[in-house]
Structure formats: structure tokens, C-alpha cells
């Protein structure tokens, strides 16, 4: 097991090198210059002197060819220095750190809600398999699963922020907090945050909910055909007990490994959803940094996402061996 | 005295082939079948979009010659330059009769244009399209109009072409790459597998939207074809992994061993013996892939990274709706179109999965 993990980690770091090299080349080839993009955003009318532009380019390491700049970036990143953001005037690590919280607020609450609802739903649809009510629930879940999140988000915005404007059910259109957030009392702050996060959390949750409950149901369907379930039934165990203790416990294996694969999504958030709701999270940061040609921030985020993906895959494989004694790695 | 009857020569009925069997099982599932019909219908809408709604005649006789100006909606060069030379400026009905009284034309079912605002008196009894945010659905503009007065129904019908094209072309590219990479890795194993598996991992590790946004940002002026290529070059990993698994499983099968023992060359073994047997499981992710490609295209258009503006796209309409939320028709109709299309492809994929999976077959 240990040698397996070490081997995977070594392979993973190789993969990481390739990814960062590839992406660095890619983003340096994008047309547009961060210095010029920045100048335009600060003051469109003002003309900078050529030597000022040159000085700024040197400051950002833009005068080197990209492969040299890559190794410079790599050497610094290996020491834990991701450089400083071109647009936010702060260290990349700090900028990312500020955005982690809002994204986690969305993803963790959505993960909890979807797991809490998906398990009973999955069990319910297994128990009532084939009955009309189960068919209705399954069709509904399938439709939710196919409903694109950005369509749902826009629909909810039209409904709750435009059509229900002025009623008790009106919800804020976007943003994480109101403008007067700092003046509110603690309870008011909490309710303000709650109202702002209702729509984004709903959009994050429903797809995952449909996916997990279908996943649980599919696994349960496979398990309840096994011989040991028939044995349990033959010796007279009640159907509730069979479902919970004999069948469900065995479907936990794939469910647990899923958590590993969820890890990157937890931190990366969603580019489109955060953009729609102007939620100051990781996805929005990424979108902005690509648009502004903010190379250090983009690279820092790509590095973070790739590391998380690799760790998540490794974690899934390890968890698989931990929960299922039949699986061993050499 | 026992008589031995002469051996009766019976010809067994030919057992149904794999695809016939699959089709028969697929047809039994009503929901999947309905979805399949919907997908076929969408394909027809895409194919005949200029005949359904447009401002260019399908066929017209002009100065003694026959022309097909509606083909210009597929590719602008297919619209005969004579109409440019004669300064039609895209407005056909009045110009045709004015410049050649003898001319005749067959028109699309609905006179509206996906690219420009239809003005008053262009078509008998058709008022000018309302602009700003007053263009709610009416009997002239069934799905309303955008801020600039372009008909939404026309954009949706012509957007079907974009959606279908993106789905099929990008997944076609992805399937070819995925099948080639996966089968090479699975068949040869050892260092080939090692290298190709790392490549698959590499592409999988970069979040898809990250890769796509970066690739599109490189291009100065991305067209719909660039977008399809980018989607195709990033969405093949799932297919490759599945194909690799199938090849590893079938590589050791007896019939493959027999073929190899007979001296069949490797490429023939791969194609005739292994590939054809592993095609069924790959069809399922390809169908789901079409759904996700359509979703990604509309998502990218929504972010403003999609097809360039004059190209009608459901995602671009949604994007317009996002900045004008009180124009609900800009959200509802394209949203429903994307939803139903994605749902239909998912249902078809699901139906295929159940029709081709031998484990589920025995259970029934």
C-alpha cells in the first residue's frame, strides 16, 4: 500500500509538471497583454510612455520567453510563492484565500443538503420500485438532472427577483451581502447572508441531489438482486431491515469513493453560477483572471485545481481499498 | 422393423444480429423512444431551418434564372452574388418585384429573420418588429423579439442548427480521438498504455471549462468550427478510458487469441475482432457527450465566449435575457429548448445503455 501511494504521488507530480507547463504556455499565447488590459481599465484615455510600459512588463516577468518564465514561476511556486496578482495588488495566495470562503459556503452547504436528501430519496425509490409514485419521483429527478444550472438560475432570478418583487418572497438578485452589511447586527447579517445564498445554493444543490439519489438507487438495484438478500428474505428478516442493514450498507462503498472525486469541485465552485449571481468565489476569480490576462492568478488557480483533482483521485482509490477489503493494491 | 428416416435438413432461422436485437429492446422503452423521435425532429428542424423561418426565398426565378437564396443561411457564399450586385440588401420581396416584374418565389413558412430586424411593409400585413423591451410574444413574433428587434423564434429555429452541429461534430472528433487512443492503449499495453494513460490523466486533470476558455482565448476570432474543435479535443477522455477497458478485457478472449494464432495482422485483429465487439458500450458515453457538448456550447455563449454575435445560438439568447431579466421570453424559450434537448439526449443514452447492457438484459 505505501509503495503504491508513493508511486502514485510521484506519477502525480510528473503529471502536475506537464499540466502547469502546458497551461502556462497556453495562457501566455493568449492575445492581449495584461499591462495594456490593466492600463485600459484604469484610465482608457491616458497614454503611457513606452519606457513605463517596458518597466511594468519587466516587473511582471513578461519580457522573458514563456518557457523561461515558466521555470522561474515553477522555482518560486516550489518555495510556496505564487507571485502577486496583476489586478488585485496582493499576493496570489492571499487573493485565492479570500475567495475560498464564499465558494465553500455554497459548495459545502449544497453537498450536505444533497447527501441528506439523496439517501432517503434513493432508499424510498428502491423500496417502492415500479410503483406509480416512485415512477413520478424518478421522472422528476431525471428532469432535474437534465436541467442546466444556468437555465435554472436565470429562471429563479426572473421568478424571485422580478416577478415577486415587493412581496415577502422577494430574494436579492445577486451578490453575497447587501450594501449596508457592515452596519447590520449579527442576526441581521446572518439573515442577509442567508437570503443572498438561497438561490445560488438551490442551483448548486438540485443537480447533485438528482445525481446522488439516482446513483444510490442504481447501486441498490444491483445489490438487492444478490443472493444474500434473498437469504435474508428467506429467513424472514423484515423488508425495512433488509433495505437498511443488508442492502444499504453495501452501497456505501461507491458513495464513499465519490467523496474523493468531489474534492476538486468543492473548492473550484462553478464559473457560470458564480458569474450569474456575482458571487465572489473561486469560479468568478478564475473567469476574471483569464479575462484580465492575470497570469499569476490563473496559474495559481490551475495549480490548485490540478493538485486537488490528483489528490481526489488518489483519495478515491485509497478509500476504495479501505472500505472494501477485497480491493488491494501492490 | 425400425425404419430410419433420412436425416431431415433443417435450416435454422438466422438469429437476429446485435443491432437488430438492440433496436428491438430500445424500441420497447417508451420514454427513450419518445426522446429519440424528439432528437430526430430537432435534426429535421436544423436541416430545414431556412425553410421554416427566414426572409430569403427558397426558390426564386429572377431575370430568367432559378436561384436558391435561402441556402445563404447555411453558408453565406451559397447565396448567389447577383443579389448583392443588384443591391437587394437582404430584403427580397419588394426588390424581386421591383427589379424583375416577371419573377416568382417560394417563401419560408414564417417571414422573419434571425439576423436582423424586420421592418414595416417588408411583407404584406407585417408590422415592424418591436424593439427595446416592448417585444413580448405576439401573433407576429411568436416568441417575442430582442432589444434590437430581432425575432426570437427565428433565432431559436436557426440556433437549432448551431446546437445540433456542435453536438455531432464535436462528439465526432472526440469519439475518433477517444477510440484511437483508448484502443491503442488497451491493445498494446506496457509502455504504450503507460504513456497514453498519462495523456488521458493530463487532459482529465485540467477542469474542462478552464481548458476550453484558455484554448478559445488564444484564437483571435473564434468561429463555431473552432469551438467544435476545442470541445472535441477536450471531451474525449471518458471514451478513451472506456475503450481501453474494453480492449484490455477482450484482448485475452479466446476468439482474439484464435485470430492471432491464425496470423491475422494486428490492425485487422483490432478493427474486426475487438473494436466491433466493444462498440456498444462506447455508444452510451458518446450520446451523453452530445448532451454535454450542447450544454457547454450554450454555457460558453452565455459567458460571451461562444460563437461570434451574428451566429444565432440558444446560449447567446439566454445571455441577452440575463441582462434584461424583465424580458422573460428571452429566458423561457431558449431555456426550455436547451433543457428538452439535453433531456432527450440523456434519455436516448439511458435507453441505449439498457438495451446494450447484457447484465440488465438477463434481469428482465
Tell me what pLDDT residue A59 has: 65
Question: Average per-residue pLDDT in chain A?
Answer: 81
Given a cut of 70, is residue A285 above it in pLDDT? yes
Name the nearest CA neighbour of B117 among B147, B138, B142: B147
Measured CA to CA, the distance from residue B216 to residue A30 in angstroms comes to 9
> For the segment B118-174, what is each residue's pLDDT rounded down to a tens digit?
777 777 777 777 777 777 777 777 788 887 778 888 888 988 988 898 899 999 999
Helix (H) or strand (E) holding B65: strand B65-67
Give the residue-averaged pLDDT of A227-256. 84
Q: What is the spatial distance between Cα B293 and Cα B287, in angstroms, rounded to a whole number?
A: 10
B141 to chain A, minimum CA–CA distance in Å? Answer: 21
List, edge to edge, every strand of the sheet that includes B104-106: B65-67, B59-62, B104-106
> What is the rounded CA–CA span in Å between residue B187 and residue A152?
44
Q: Which residue has the higher pLDDT, B8 or A326?
A: A326
| Residue B364 vs residue B170, higher pLDDT | B170
Residue B362 pLDDT > 70: no
Contact A142 B198 (CB under 8 A): no
Q: What whole-number distance in Å separates Cα of residue A121 and Cα of residue B352?
A: 25
CA B9 to chain A, closest CA, distance in angstroms equals 43
User: Which chain A residues are closer than 8 Å to B361 by Cβ?
Assistant: none
User: Band of the pLDDT at B364, cuts 50, 70, 90?
Assistant: very low
Q: Which of residues 298-357 of B touch A (CB under 8 A)?
A: 298-299, 302-303, 318, 321-322, 325-326, 328, 331-332, 335, 338-339, 342-343, 346-347
Q: Do A148 and B339 touch (CB under 8 A)?
A: yes
CB pairs under 8 A between A and B: 107
The CA–CA distances, whole Å, from A167 to A152, A160, A203, B54, B340 equal 21, 9, 22, 42, 31
Check: CB of residue B156 under 8 Å from CB of residue B314.
yes
Please give the backbone phi and psi of residue A84, each rounded to the nearest 5 degrees, phi first.
Answer: -120, 150
Quick check: A15 and A22 in contact, CB under 8 A? no
pLDDT at A314: 83
Q: Which of A8, A20, A154, A294 to mutate to test the interface with B (most CBs of B within 10 A)?
A: A154
Contact assignment for A146 to B210 by CB distance below 8 Å: no
- CA dist list (Å): A266 to A287, B212, B214: 17, 20, 22
A158 in contact with chain B, both atoms CB, cutoff 8 A: yes
d(CA A173, CA B204): 34
Identify whether the C-beta of residue A237 lies closer than 8 Å to the C-beta of residue A246.
yes
Contact at 8 Å (CB) between B332 and B323? no
H or E element that contains A253: helix A249-268
Q: Give the model confidence (pLDDT) of A140-190 as tens digits.
A: 888 888 888 888 888 888 888 887 777 777 777 777 777 777 777 778 888
Task: Say which range, A28-42, A254-268, B88-102, B245-259, has the weakest mean pLDDT.
Answer: A28-42
Q: Hey, is the C-beta of A29 within 8 angstroms of any chain B C-beta? A: yes
In this prediction, the answer to ipTM > 0.90 reads no
Answer for the pair B59, B51: CB distance below 8 angstroms, yes or no: no
Which pLDDT value is given to residue B171? 92
Q: Which long-range contacts (CB under 8 A, 24 or more apart) does A94-102 make?
A: A95/A285, A95/A297, A96/A282, A96/A285, A96/A297, A96/A300, A96/A301, A96/A304, A98/A280, A99/A280, A99/A281, A99/A282, A99/A284, A99/A285, A100/A267, A100/A282, A102/A176, A102/A279, A102/A280, A102/A281
Share above pLDDT 70 across residues of chain A, in percent, rounded to a whole number: 90
Q: Which segments of chain B belong to CATH 1.10.3720.10?
A: 153-363
- Does the pLDDT of residue A93 top 80, yes or no? yes
Q: What is the C-alpha to C-alpha distance for residues A127 and B194, in angstroms, rounded to an integer? A: 44
With CA atoms as reference, the chain B residue closest to A270 would be B209
User: Considering only alpha carbons, which residue of chain B is nearest residue A152?
Assistant: B335
User: Judged by CB atoms within 8 Å, which residues 96-155 of A form the interface with B?
Assistant: 139, 142-143, 145-148, 150-151, 154-155
Is the Cβ pair B303, A271 closer than 8 Å? Answer: yes
* C-alpha span between A303 and B207 (Å, rounded): 11
pLDDT: which is higher, A36 or A17:
A17
CB-neighbour burial class of residue B258 (10 A; exposed 0-12, middle 13-18, buried 19+): exposed
Q: Which residues of A touch B328 (CB under 8 A)?
A: 158, 162-163
| CA atoms within 13 A of residue B222's CA, in its CB half-sphere | 26
Distance from CA of A155 to the nearest CA of B (A): 7
Confidence of residue B44 (pLDDT cuts 50, 70, 90): very high
Choose the closest CB to B363 out of A154, A225, A290: A225
CB contact under 8 A, B202 and A271: no
Summarize pLDDT for B301-316 with one digit per residue, the tens: 888 777 666 678 888 8
Chain centre to alpha carbon of residue B88:
33
Provide, rounded to the nearest whole percent, the portion of chain A with pLDDT above 90: 1
Name the packing angle between helices B152-188 and B190-205 (round to 10°).
150
Q: Which of A129, A148, A160 to mutate to test the interface with B (most CBs of B within 10 A)?
A: A148
Instruction: Report d(CA A293, CA B66) in Å as an integer.
Output: 52
HSE of B18 in the Cβ direction (CA atoms, 13 Å)? 10
**What pLDDT, on the 0 to 100 scale, is given for residue B363?**
44
The b-or-e profile of A124-142 (16+ CB within 10 A means b, else e) is: bbbbeeeeeebeebbeebb
Chain A residues 305-324 within an 8 A CB cutoff of chain B: 305-306, 309-310
Confidence (pTM): 0.83
- Chain A contact for B34 (CB, 8 A cutoff): no
B317-345 pLDDT tens trace: 888 888 877 788 888 888 999 999 999 99
Fold of B153-363: MetI-like fold (1.10.3720)
Residue A41 has pLDDT above 70, yes or no: no
User: What per-residue confidence (pLDDT) applies to B256?
Assistant: 83
Question: pLDDT tens digit string along A211-227?
Answer: 888 888 888 888 888 88
Q: Determine the angle formed by the axes of helices A149-157 and B329-356, rounding to 10 degrees.
A: 150
Fold type of domain A92-323: MetI-like fold (1.10.3720)
- Angle A245-A246-A251 (CA atoms, 0-180°, nearest 5)? 95
Position B41 scores a pLDDT of 93
Q: How far apart are CA A87 and CA A70, in angstroms?
A: 20
B19-41, pLDDT tens digit by residue? Answer: 788 888 888 888 889 999 999 99
Contact: B295, A148; criterion CB under 8 Å: yes
Distances (CA, A) of B73 to A318, B77, B103, B309: 55, 9, 21, 15
Q: With an 8 Å Cβ cutoff, are B339 and A27 in contact?
A: no
Q: Tell me what the mean pLDDT of segment A90-117 comes to.
A: 88
DSSP string, A125-163: HHHTTTSHHHHHHHHHHHHHHHS-HHHHHHHHHIIIIII
pLDDT in tens, A43-69: 555 566 666 677 667 666 677 777 788
**Highest-confidence range of A20-34, A239-253, B349-363, by mean pLDDT?**
A239-253
Contact A23 B339 (CB under 8 A): no
Model pLDDT, residue B178: 92
User: Would you say the C-alpha torsion B146, B151, B156, B162 has a positive or negative sign?
Assistant: negative
Give whole-number Cα distances, B34 to A8, A133, A306, B54, B351, in Å.
Answer: 46, 21, 40, 29, 11
Partners of B110 in beta bridges: B53
Amino acid at each position: 500500500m505505501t509503495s503504491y501511494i508513493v508511486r502514485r504521488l510521484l506519477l502525480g507530480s510528473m503529471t502536475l509538471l506537464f499540466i502547469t507547463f502546458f497551461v502556462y504556455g497556453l495562457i501566455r499565447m493568449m492575445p492581449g497583454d495584461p499591462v495594456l488590459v490593466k492600463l485600459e481599465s484604469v484610465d482608457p484615455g491616458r497614454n503611457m510612455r513606452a519606457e513605463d510600459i517596458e518597466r511594468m512588463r519587466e516587473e511582471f516577468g513578461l519580457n522573458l520567453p514563456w518557457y523561461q518564465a515558466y521555470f522561474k514561476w515553477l522555482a518560486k511556486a516550489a518555495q510556496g510563492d505564487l507571485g502577486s496578482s496583476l489586478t488585485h495588488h496582493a499576493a496570489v495566495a492571499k487573493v485565492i484565500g479570500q475567495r475560498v470562503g464564499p465558494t465553500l459556503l455554497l459548495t459545502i452547504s449544497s453537498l450536505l443538503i444533497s447527501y441528506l436528501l439523496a439517501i432517503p430519496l434513493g432508499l424510498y425509490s428502491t423500496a417502492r420500485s415500479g410503483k406509480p409514485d416512485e415512477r413520478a419521483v424518478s421522472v422528476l429527478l431525471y428532469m432535474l438532472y437534465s436541467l442546466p444550472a444556468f437555465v435554472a438560475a436565470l429562471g429563479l432570478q426572473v421568478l424571485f427577483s422580478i416577478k415577486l418583487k415587493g412581496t415577502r418572497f422577494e430574494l436579492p438578485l445577486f451578490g453575497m451581502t447587501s450594501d449596508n452589511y457592515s452596519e447590520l447586527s449579527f442576526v441581521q447579517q446572518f439573515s442577509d447572508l442567508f437570503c443572498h445564498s438561497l438561490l445560488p445554493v438551490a442551483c448548486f444543490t438540485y443537480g447533485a441531489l438528482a445525481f446522488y439519489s439516482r446513483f444510490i438507487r442504481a447501486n441498490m438495484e444491483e445489490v438487492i438482486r444478490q443472493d444474500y438478500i434473498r437469504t435474508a428474505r428467506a429467513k424472514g428478516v423484515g423488508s425495512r431491515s433488509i433495505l437498511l442493514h443488508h442492502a444499504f450498507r453495501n452501497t456505501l462503498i461507491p458513495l464513499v469513493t465519490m467523496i474523493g472525486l468531489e474534492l476538486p469541485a468543492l473548492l473550484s465552485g462553478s464559473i457560470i453560477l458564480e458569474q450569474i449571481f456575482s458571487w465572489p468565489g473561486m469560479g468568478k476569480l478564475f473567469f476574471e483572471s483569464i479575462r484580465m490576462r492575470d497570469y499569476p492568478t490563473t496559474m495559481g488557480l490551475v495549480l490548485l485545481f490540478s493538485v486537488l483533482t490528483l489528490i481526489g483521485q488518489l483519495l478515491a482509490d485509497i478509500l476504495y481499498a479501505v472500505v472494501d477489503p477485497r480491493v488491494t493494491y501492490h | 422393423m425400425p425404419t430410419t428416416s433420412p436425416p431431415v435438413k433443417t435450416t435454422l432461422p438466422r438469429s437476429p444480429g446485435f443491432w437488430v436485437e438492440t433496436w428491438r429492446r430500445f424500441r420497447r422503452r417508451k420514454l427513450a423512444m419518445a426522446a429519440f423521435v424528439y432528437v430526430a425532429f430537432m435534426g429535421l428542424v436544423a436541416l430545414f431551418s431556412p425553410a421554416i423561418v427566414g426572409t430569403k426565398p427558397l426558390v426564386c426565378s429572377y431575370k430568367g434564372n432559378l436561384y436558391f437564396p435561402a441556402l445563404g443561411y447555411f453558408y453565406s457564399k451559397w447565396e448567389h452574388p447577383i443579389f448583392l450586385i443588384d443591391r437587394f440588401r437582404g430584403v427580397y420581396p419588394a426588390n424581386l418585384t421591383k427589379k424583375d416584374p416577371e419573377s416568382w418565389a417560394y417563401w419560408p413558412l414564417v417571414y422573419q429573420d434571425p439576423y436582423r430586424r424586420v421592418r414595416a411593409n417588408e411583407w404584406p400585413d407585417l408590422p415592424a418588429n418591436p424593439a427595446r423591451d416592448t417585444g413580448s410574444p405576439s401573433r407576429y413574433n411568436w416568441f417575442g423579439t430582442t432589444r434590437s428587434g430581432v425575432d426570437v423564434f427565428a433565432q431559436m429555429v436557426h440556433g437549432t442548427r448551431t446546437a445540433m452541429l456542435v453536438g455531432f461534430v464535436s462528439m465526432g472528433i472526440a469519439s475518433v480521438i477517444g477510440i484511437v487512443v483508448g484502443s491503442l492503449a488497451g491493445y498494446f499495453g506496457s509502455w504504450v498504455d503507460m504513456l497514453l494513460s498519462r495523456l488521458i490523466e493530463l487532459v482529465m486533470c485540467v477542469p474542462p471549462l478552464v481548458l476550453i476558455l484558455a484554448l478559445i482565448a488564444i484564437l483571435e476570432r473564434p468561429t463555431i468550427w473552432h469551438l467544435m474543435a476545442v470541445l472535441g479535443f477536450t471531451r474525449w477522455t471518458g471514451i478513451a478510458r472506456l475503450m481501453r477497458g474494453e480492449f484490455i478485457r477482450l484482448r485475452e478472449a479466446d476468439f482474439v487469441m484464435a485470430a492471432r494464432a491464425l496470423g491475422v495482422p494486428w490492425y485487422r485483429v483490432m478493427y474486426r475482432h475487438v473494436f466491433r465487439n466493444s462498440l456498444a458500450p462506447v455508444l452510451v458515453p458518446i450520446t451523453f457527450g452530445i448532451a454535454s457538448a450542447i450544454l457547454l456550447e450554450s454555457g460558453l455563449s452565455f459567458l460571451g465566449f461562444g460563437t461570434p454575435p451574428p451566429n444565432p445560438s440558444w446560449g447567446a439568447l439566454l445571455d441577452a435575457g440575463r441582462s434584461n431579466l424583465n424580458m422573460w421570453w428571452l429566458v423561457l424559450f431558449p431555456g426550455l429548448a436547451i433543457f428538452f434537448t439535453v433531456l432527450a439526449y440523456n434519455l436516448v443514452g439511458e435507453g441505449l445503455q439498457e438495451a446494450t447492457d447484457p447484465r440488465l438484459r438477463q434481469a428482465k
